[in-house]
Amino acid sequence: MEVYFDNAATTRVDEEVVNLMNEVMLKDYGNPSSLHNFGINAEKYIRESAEIISKILRCKEKEILFTSGGTESNNMALIGSALANKRNGNHIIISKVEHASVGNVASFLESLGFEITKISVDGDGKINIDELKNAIRDDTILISIMMVNNEVGSIMPIEDIGKIIKELNESRRNKIIFHVDCIQAFAKLRIYPAAMNIDLLSVSGHKFHGPKGSGFLYIKEKTKIKPIIYGGGQGGGMRSGTENVPAIAGIGLAAKKAYEDFDEKINNLNSLKEYFMDRLLEIENVKLNSKKDGVCHIINASFIGIKSEVLLHTLEDNGIYVSSGSACSNNSKKEKSDTLFNMGLSDEELDSAIRFSLSRLTTKDEIDYTMEVLKANVALLRRFTKK
């Protein structure tokens, strides 16, 4: 049996999405900037995908800018808004548990003279909102907080943060821009940026059965942001370069399918997650680092006494694929998880943490099989480790 539990890293592309992209590449392959029918047909896919996504987010189509994925969207949001608003101040706030595509961009901006404040999280991986509120200064120009943590699945109080920023902006001459990384949240939560007072919002297509190399950035109308890619002026001048029409068509269809029968899909995922978490506790000395009130698809657990990489490869030998952390930081195997560290986990808990991440394709049988393998191997691995 083959079981894929690394869906927070990437998902299997939906077959209908593959078929649509194949049609675009072989049939409607024109440049969308061209004036002839091939170009017009290609441009139609961009409009259709923008329409689909704008209806999901309840925003305007022109507020959707297609990108190559979440990393580019986060880079554009932070760098573009920081440079556009640097006359108003140089202070930026993020959390201590942001994805590297936010955290490393913040470090880059720090090298340009911006000042970065990082807000801590509690033992559940949720941001300290009072600390955030107290960190805001007169020269604060940007706040960037993820909606869902990619390692433990904690859901941040984005609506509350949005309200705080909105209230402050009503009395400020220099407005604070609010960016939210929704890469693990889109297709798992209902997200309405206008109602949540979000100015910039990042999404990546391959997290919800769309293609790799697809994503978008929601840019609220009139938000001050500069391009970081210059050229022929595509994307309304915000992102030059010929659009990746197959990927844009793909992410549009993937988004549409993700939000069809949405409540049914999410309720099923929540049921599977709860069942899996309860079953993991049948094993001695397992600590759940994720909470049941977190996002529906991420479970992080520490198997005390076993190195995470040892357990990961044992599961792999049995056809089960999991993660020992964020896929985007796995090239640095010796580095400990910032999220788990900031949640206060011990070294032993950090070293033994495994992330299981589900998708709409996950079945109860896959969970039961995984539990069989875990129960057959965990005690043996602990004895081996002690030797």
Scanning the structure block, which residue is given the tokens 């049939």? 27
158 and 286 in a single domain? The answer is no
Using an 8 Å Cβ cutoff, are 150 and 184 in contact? yes
- Close Cβ partners of 158 (under 8 Å, ≥ 6 residues apart): 145, 147, 180, 196, 198
Number of domains in the chain: 2
End-to-end CA separation in angstroms for the chain:
31
Residue 21 burial by CB count (10 A; 0-12/13-18/19+): exposed, middle or buried?
buried
Taking only the tens place, the pLDDT of each residue in 23-49 is 999 998 888 888 898 888 899 999 999
112 and 251 in a single domain? The answer is yes
- For 120, other C-beta atoms within 10 Å of its C-beta total 14
Stretch among 31-35, 131-135, 200-204 having the lowest mean pLDDT:
31-35
298 and 225 in a single domain? The answer is no
114 and 239 in a single domain? The answer is yes
Q: What's the pTM?
A: 0.95
239 and 272 in a single domain? The answer is no
7 and 21 in a single domain? The answer is no
Mark which of 258, 287, 310 sits at the end of a domain.
Answer: 258
206 and 319 in a single domain? The answer is no
Stretch among 19-23, 173-177, 326-330 having the lowest mean pLDDT:
326-330
- Close Cβ partners of 146 (under 8 Å, ≥ 6 residues apart): 95, 97, 98, 99, 102, 156, 180, 181, 182, 183, 184, 185
Scanning the structure block, which residue is given the tokens 């943590």? 149
Give the structural domain span for 169.
Answer: 15-258
244 and 278 in a single domain? The answer is no
pLDDT at 386: 57
197 alpha-carbon distance from chain centroid: 19
37 and 151 in a single domain? The answer is yes
Mark which of 258, 289, 307 sits at the end of a domain.
Answer: 258
Q: What is the CATH number of the domain that holds 102?
A: 3.40.640.10
172 and 81 in a single domain? The answer is yes
Please report the DSSP string for 177-243 in residue order.
EEEEE-TTTBTTB---TTTTT-SEEEEEGGGTTS-TT-EEEEE-TT-----SS-SS-TGGGTS-S--
Q: Which two tokens stand for residue 273?
A: 């997650």
How many residues are present in the chain?
387
Using an 8 Å Cβ cutoff, are 287 and 145 in contact? no
Q: State the average pLDDT over residues 68-82.
A: 98
Taking only the tens place, the pLDDT of each residue in 214-263 is 999 999 999 999 999 999 889 888 888 989 999 999 999 999 999 999 99
Mark which of 194, 229, 258 sits at the end of a domain.
Answer: 258
Using an 8 Å Cβ cutoff, are 133 and 217 in contact? no
47 and 143 in a single domain? The answer is yes
CA dihedral for 371, 333, 349, 104, sign (positive or negative): negative
Which residues participate in catalysis according to the annotation? 328
Residue 59 burial by CB count (10 A; 0-12/13-18/19+): exposed, middle or buried?
buried
The residues with which 321 forms a beta bridge, in sequence order, are 4
